[in-house]
Homo-oligomer: A and B are copies of this chain.
Amino acid sequence: MSDQTINIGFLLFPKLTQLDLTGPVQVLSRMPGAEVHLIWKTLDPVPSDTPISILPTMKMSECPQLDVICVPGGSGADDMANDDEVLDFLRKQAEGARYVTSVCTGALVLGAAGLLDGYKATTYWAVLDDLKKFGATPVETRVCSDRNRITGGGVTAGIDFGLVMIDTIAGRKAAEAVQLALEYNPAPPFSSGSPHTAPADVLAMVRQRMTPFIEKRAQAIARAATRFRERQQVRV
Contacts and interface: CB of A to CB of B under 8 A. Distances in A.
Interface in A31-75: 36-38, 45, 49-55, 57
Given A29-B50, A50-B29, A160 B186 contact: yes
Contacts of A17: 26
Interface in A202-222: 202-203, 205-206, 209
Interface string A181-209: 11111111110111101110111011001
A184 B163 contact: no
B199 A176 contact: yes
Size bracket, chain A contacts: 35 or more
Contacts of A159: 156, 186, 188
Contact of A186 (B19, B104, B193): B193
Interface string A157-194: 10110011001000011011101111111111110111
Interface of A: 17-19, 21-23, 25-26, 29, 36-38, 45, 49-55, 57, 104, 124-125, 142-143, 153-157, 159-160, 163-164, 167, 172-173, 175-177, 179-190, 192-195, 197-199, 201-203, 205-206, 209
